[in-house]
Amino acid sequence: MKNIQDITPADVKQAYKGKIGCMCGCRGKHYTEGPMLTKILRTLQANEDLVELDPTGLFAAAKIGGKEHCIYLNA
């Protein structure tokens, strides 16, 4: 997996932000483009110490400010 700081919005297939507990979309929202996708990526980069990186390189996630933040990367 890339270093979280090296990931660009072009590397992100989808982003998610919502309440902690589920990431299917029932407690938050998925974004496939636009400023929210970039904002979620930048939030993860700014909180690198909290980010859990998937060993397969498919996603990176963190619980920040009572919300789940996740990016799903292009394969």
pLDDT digits (tens, 9 = 90+) for 43-65: 999 999 999 999 998 999 999 99
- Predicted confidence at residue 13, as pLDDT, reads 97
Residue 28 tokens read as: 């938050």
| Domain range summary for the chain, segments of one domain joined by + | 10-32+45-73
Dmax (CA) for the chain in angstroms is 30
Q: Is 14 helix (H, G, I), strand (E, B) or coil?
A: strand
Global pTM reads 0.93
End-to-end C-alpha distance for the chain, whole angstroms: 10
Sequence letter at residue 70: C
Angstrom distance (rounded) from CA 73 to CA 67:
20
